Structure 1
Amino acid sequence: MNIDYKKQPKSKVGLDYLGLKNTDQALWNLNPSELYEQAISNGEAQLTDKMVLQVQTGKYTGRSPKDKFLVEQPSINDDIDWGPVNQPISEEIFDNLHKKVVEYLDGKKLYVKDLFAGADPEYRLNVRVVSEAAYHGLFAHNMFINPSEEELKSHEPEFTVLAAPNFHADPEIDGTRSSTFILCNFEKKMILIGGTLYSGEVKKGIFAVMNYLLPKKNVMAMHCSANVDDNGNTTVFFGLSGTGKTTLSADASKTLIGDDEHGWSDNGVFNIEGGCYAKTINLSPEGEPEIYQTTQMPGTILENVVLDENRVPDFTDDSLTQNTRCAYPISFIPNSSETGRGGHPKNVVFLTADAFGVLPPISKLTPEQAMYHFISGYTAKVAGTERGVTEPQATFSACFGAPFLPLHATVYAELLADKIRKHDSNVWLVNTGWTGGMYGVGSRMKLSHTRKMLNEALEGNLDGVDFVTEPVFGLQIPTHIEGVPDKVLNPKETWKDKAAYDKKANELAKMFKDNFRKFAKQASEEILQAGPNI
């Protein structure tokens, strides 16, 4: 049976603006079933035992930040925080590569998806994703917001992702660092991707665009998850990968607004996405039942998850990468928001996985401490899993999302400060990392304890509790939380060797101080004083 894949809604705006002329093979706005069929017939994917799409992204199983560049242009040059994150590249290099990509893609089968970024219509961006990979089409369908058929009729792209994962640049000729490139051109409103199949480049590319556009409208762009309780109280969770941002926001007792990218406007919080992109390494039905269930549902994409001989996913297998992922529509989470919107946050939570075992499992921050820790964006990663390697590595990522911030960190920090003060939000620092010692000595914080502490804080049950001041970081620690051993609340008390704790706490405090030096000129004296007491 011949299936007509070209019956789907097609934008009145074709692909000429991209330079593509021979587009007879372009397939517009296919639905998930059609994209499934295309991905399998193209050899891009296979099915699991539960009819879930499994994709291996090949050489690149994560983002390629050193191959990501912003095109230098007079209209944006004064705005951008140029440096290792926002690397400049010339318009000439972009134009030459764009021409080569167009020549490569012209006449090929292409998958076009017209979508929205931003659940609040006042601040949404019309997005188009064009790729030679059907898998990218399904990923975009899952991760962005899908227009109605009526909205598709008038959809005109404001920003386009043009992806050619099988096209490779020649660094010596094309001026790139490697054969892979992710180039963002704000004047041409285009992200050009080549040499990598990893779909996170599509998602994070658009997020970086929103992080540039939204602050200009006085909207705080946030790398965070968000949920809302039955009383309408919204909470946002900031945190780097591995800190529990997705896990803790996917709470069965709350309505999930979104798990990764949000805006905070005068209207409240809104999801930038329409889906979730969760890590699956060591995923289990006991630990994260809501997320695990999505991996059993057709429509989800499993990225670089190893299948056994019966095509059952093995979430403990990291032979391809530690960065195994699942991408699914947010509606796959039973308690997800239908609108992707919530009120102004009553609580703001900063998550860190402190592998040094120094920071308290929960502490309350003053507004000045909130700015200090937001600008710092601290977490720690273990150095590796080889025998004998036990020393953790501190990681500081400004605003808990430095790789996606085109503007200077202080722009976002000041916006957040303004929102927190205006709406009287509580700010909590939560350590989901180690207790009783550093990595290799202590143990990971129990998820059940973290959930209990968070729930008590978010429900306002810590308002009348006594707090003590932790001496090195000046953090306010509750002395008692129902259902959690008192000893767990104060990290020093969990260490057998108290002198070793003091030494490690001072080491970490010095790392904070050293990292913050690059922000010292922009930070107020009050924020500087909110740092560690060494």
Structure 2
Amino acid sequence: MPTSSIPALLARLRPLGFTRAARAHFNLPPAALVEAALCRVEGVLTDTGALMCDTGKFTGRSPKDRFIVRDAITEDSVWWGDINIPFGPDKFDELHQKMVDYLEDKELYVREGYAGAHPAAQLKLRVVTELAWHNLFCYNLFLRPAETADTSWLADFSIICAPGFLADPAVDGTRQANFAILNFTKKLILIGGTAYAGEMKKGIFGVLNFLLPHTQDTLPMHCSANIGARGDAAVFFGLSGTGKTTLSTDPNRHLVGDDEHGWLPGQGGIFNFEGGCYAKVIDLAADKEPEIWQAIRFGSIVENTRFVPGTRTVDYANKSVTENTRTAYPIDYIPNIAVPSVGPVPTHIFFLTADATGVLPPLSKLDKSHAMYHFLSGYTAKVAGTEMGILEPQATFSACFGAVFLPLHPTRYAEMLGEKMDEHPVSVWLVNTGWTGGGYGVGSRMKLGYTRALITAALTGQLDEVKFRPHPIFGVQVPGAVPGIPTELLDPRRTWVNKAAYDQAASTLANKFVANFEKYAAAASPDIMAGAPLVAEPVGQVLVG
């Protein structure tokens, strides 16, 4: 759609505080946004036609600069602390007016879309961006109304994103010049001082994480999801580096989505929040992740990447800007997707962890208590080289595999998961995509082929008749045999040359779980606490014969 008349656009922008606009564009198609971004020198084209852009100083989200307005709606419901930092309503209003004053003299890009592929839980969005490529990002990541759809509605939530606007911390109440502030009363997100596009995507995810449990009795999930040929749905939780995107993108299953989903009450099933994918591309290779590789074409965006010298070919191994290089593309750039992006009640849930200690089994089954406990723990490990200052593996815990996006207390989401398990015959699995035969530096990384085979065995019912035994410390149920998998691999202790070293490592990891869980213990039910690991002296038990 070409540039709209200013009066027509002002009718849409007036609820956001705009009384005038110098020049504004409404719902431009991708080709026009790419052209605008190139003319404004916001990016360059790669040899596949993708738009390459830099996000400037911030190459990732800035969690310490994310705020929620503390008012009558949020006062008694938000889990306040280091993750959900309170912001004053008056300061928000003042900052909002400053941003509007700043933008009214700029060329603006307005986009209307929605989040939530299921009609029962849709959030109508209006986004105002200072940058053309940010508007293309929103086109790719949010759900796109039909071209003939009337979008003159009053938005359920809006975003104003102005990377060029810098806050004055001493006056505006922010920590520094950049900020992302959610206001549930005004139904508005303000983002300034940062060009990292993911702040917009995750801002709306935070909104849904607050609203859906309240208004729809729907469980929001930071996960990927797919559907098999039999119509069976599976969801995959996992922090960065655990293989969530890779393992959920299966040529034999239809992708529902790669990052954010909701689980409706009753028989409502699951649905994608988004209309696109925002995948990491560091070390991307055509043979390893062909679907993502082929999706990076005209209309797609690549962030903070660099070219092979003398070419327009992206060097995906280049980490000179950041390891958090990414691509953003519409989900229909992936060939094997579910249309629409909805699915039935899941029959399988996978918690993915890259355990650098080599302690956890490659696959184990969780009962309700262990599922809620591990969901609340959200464990993985960072290894040397992934971040500055990390010289040895570090245990990392993120509640519900996405703590930084949870406005409510994490136990609320865990209890909802437990209720879903009571209501439906869903199997929950813990999958270690990390190390075996020893920890990082001693053992070896789990082969991707083995991990895929283990997940396939679970999905296809090959483990229905297999005998399981409990892990002596973590209590999870470990299969005695899996077709195509070496038996000794299933019991991690058997893969270690030094059994005593395994016992000590297992005990140390268990203590880290317990120490991390202390902040939830007061609010956690006895049912959740029953899933905690034992922290007594290692017992040296062998799981499988």
* Shared fold per TM-score greater than 0.5: yes
**For residues 293 and 150 of structure 1, what CA distance do their matches in structure 2 show?**
29
**For residues 416 and 448 of structure 1, what CA distance do their matches in structure 2 show?**
29
Q: Secondary structure of 1:307's match?
A: coil
User: 1:220 maps to which residue?
Assistant: 219
Give 2:301's aligned amino acid: I
User: 1:397 maps to which residue?
Assistant: 398
Q: 1:374 to 1:251 in 2, by over 3 A?
A: same
User: 2:135 maps to which residue?
Assistant: 137
Query: Which one is further off, 441-450 or 268-277?
Result: 441-450
Are the counterparts in 2 of residues 168 and 179 from structure 1 also a CA contact under 8 Å? yes
**For residues 280 and 190 of structure 1, what CA distance do their matches in structure 2 show?**
31
Q: How does 1:279-290 map to 2 (within 5 A)?
A: 279-290=280-291
**For residues 333 and 189 of structure 1, what CA distance do their matches in structure 2 show?**
32
Are the counterparts in 1 of residues 306 and 316 from structure 2 also a CA contact under 8 Å? yes
Q: CA deviation at 1:245?
A: 1.0
**For residues 232 and 462 of structure 2, what CA distance do their matches in structure 1 show?**
14
Query: Which one is further off, 231-240 or 16-25?
Result: 16-25
User: 1:371 maps to which residue?
Assistant: 372
User: 2:295 maps to which residue?
Assistant: 294
Q: How does 1:141-152 map to 2 (within 5 A)?
A: 141-152=139-150
**For residues 274 and 280 of structure 1, what CA distance do their matches in structure 2 show?**
19
Q: CA deviation at 1:10?
A: 6.6
Q: CA deviation at 1:385?
A: 5.9
**For residues 161 and 469 of structure 2, what CA distance do their matches in structure 1 show?**
53
Are the counterparts in 2 of residues 8 and 30 from structure 1 also a CA contact under 8 Å? no
Q: How does 1:258-273 map to 2 (within 5 A)?
A: 258-266=257-265, 267-273=268-274
Give 2:202's aligned amino acid: K
User: 1:246 maps to which residue?
Assistant: 245
Are the counterparts in 1 of residues 6 and 21 from structure 2 also a CA contact under 8 Å? no
User: 1:256 maps to which residue?
Assistant: 255
Are the counterparts in 2 of residues 302 and 325 from structure 1 also a CA contact under 8 Å? yes
Q: CA deviation at 1:22?
A: 2.1
Q: 1:249 to 1:445 in 2, by over 3 A?
A: same
Query: Which one is further off, 468-477 or 130-139?
Result: 468-477
User: 1:200 maps to which residue?
Assistant: 198
Report the aligned-residue RMSD: 1.8
Q: CA deviation at 1:13?
A: 4.1
Q: 1:258 to 1:289 in 2, by over 3 A?
A: same
Q: Does 1:319 align with 2:325?
A: no
Are the counterparts in 1 of residues 358 and 439 from structure 2 also a CA contact under 8 Å? yes
Q: Secondary structure of 2:127's match?
A: strand
Gaps (5+ residues) in structure 1? none
**For residues 199 and 488 of structure 1, what CA distance do their matches in structure 2 show?**
41
**For residues 365 and 293 of structure 1, what CA distance do their matches in structure 2 show?**
36
Q: Does 1:339 align with 2:340?
A: yes
Q: Does 1:528 align with 2:526?
A: no
Q: Secondary structure of 2:148's match?
A: helix
Are the counterparts in 2 of residues 48 and 54 from structure 1 also a CA contact under 8 Å? yes
Gaps (5+ residues) in structure 2? 536-545
Which residue, out of 158, 168, 171, partners 2:169? 171
Q: CA deviation at 1:151?
A: 2.3
User: 1:491 maps to which residue?
Assistant: 492
Q: CA deviation at 1:5?
A: 3.8
User: 2:464 maps to which residue?
Assistant: 463
Are the counterparts in 2 of residues 9 and 149 from structure 1 also a CA contact under 8 Å? no
Give 1:84's aligned amino acid: D
Q: Secondary structure of 1:314's match?
A: coil
Q: CA deviation at 1:9?
A: 13
Q: CA deviation at 1:236?
A: 0.7
| CA deviation profile, 1:304-325 (whole Å, cap 9, x unmatched) | 1111121111111111111111
Give 1:440's aligned amino acid: G
Q: CA deviation at 1:350?
A: 0.7
Q: Secondary structure of 2:136's match?
A: helix
Percentage of identical aligned residues: 52
Q: 1:407 to 1:334 in 2, by over 3 A?
A: same
Are the counterparts in 1 of residues 6 and 24 from structure 2 also a CA contact under 8 Å? no
Give 2:232's aligned amino acid: N
Give 1:165's aligned amino acid: P
Give 1:119's aligned amino acid: A
- TM-score, scaled relative to structure 1: 0.96
**For residues 271 and 113 of structure 1, what CA distance do their matches in structure 2 show?**
20
Q: Secondary structure of 1:380's match?
A: strand
Q: Secondary structure of 2:270's match?
A: strand
Q: 1:462 to 1:9 in 2, by over 3 A?
A: farther
Which residue, out of 30, 39, 49, partners 1:41? 39
Are the counterparts in 1 of residues 164 and 193 from structure 2 also a CA contact under 8 Å? yes
User: 2:542 maps to which residue?
Assistant: none
Q: How does 1:334-483 map to 2 (within 5 A)?
A: 334-384=335-385, 390-483=391-484
Give 1:90's aligned amino acid: G
Q: 1:74 to 1:389 in 2, by over 3 A?
A: closer
User: 1:23 maps to which residue?
Assistant: 21
Give 1:46's aligned amino acid: V
**For residues 65 and 390 of structure 2, what CA distance do their matches in structure 1 show?**
29
| CA deviation profile, 1:104-134 (whole Å, cap 9, x unmatched) | 1012100100001000111100011111111
| CA deviation profile, 1:252-274 (whole Å, cap 9, x unmatched) | 11000001000100311000001
User: 2:541 maps to which residue?
Assistant: none
User: 2:60 maps to which residue?
Assistant: 62
Q: CA deviation at 1:390?
A: 4.7
| CA deviation profile, 1:25-82 (whole Å, cap 9, x unmatched) | 1100000000100111111110001111111111100000000000110122111000
**For residues 180 and 478 of structure 1, what CA distance do their matches in structure 2 show?**
49
Give 2:405's aligned amino acid: F
Are the counterparts in 2 of residues 11 and 154 from structure 1 also a CA contact under 8 Å? no
Query: Which one is further off, 10-19 or 254-263?
Result: 10-19
Give 2:502's aligned amino acid: Y
Are the counterparts in 2 of residues 257 and 271 from structure 1 also a CA contact under 8 Å? yes
**For residues 190 and 354 of structure 2, what CA distance do their matches in structure 1 show?**
34
Q: Secondary structure of 2:161's match?
A: strand
Give 2:75's aligned amino acid: N
Q: 1:192 to 1:38 in 2, by over 3 A?
A: same
Q: CA deviation at 1:401?
A: 0.9
**For residues 275 and 388 of structure 1, what CA distance do their matches in structure 2 show?**
33
**For residues 7 and 235 of structure 2, what CA distance do their matches in structure 1 show?**
36
Q: Secondary structure of 2:12's match?
A: coil
Q: CA deviation at 1:480?
A: 1.6
Number of residue pairs matched?
531
| CA deviation profile, 1:248-300 (whole Å, cap 9, x unmatched) | 111111000001000100311000001011111111112111112112x2111
**For residues 235 and 397 of structure 1, what CA distance do their matches in structure 2 show?**
21
**For residues 102 and 386 of structure 2, what CA distance do their matches in structure 1 show?**
42
Q: CA deviation at 1:498?
A: 1.5
Q: 1:231 to 1:8 in 2, by over 3 A?
A: farther
Q: Secondary structure of 2:150's match?
A: helix
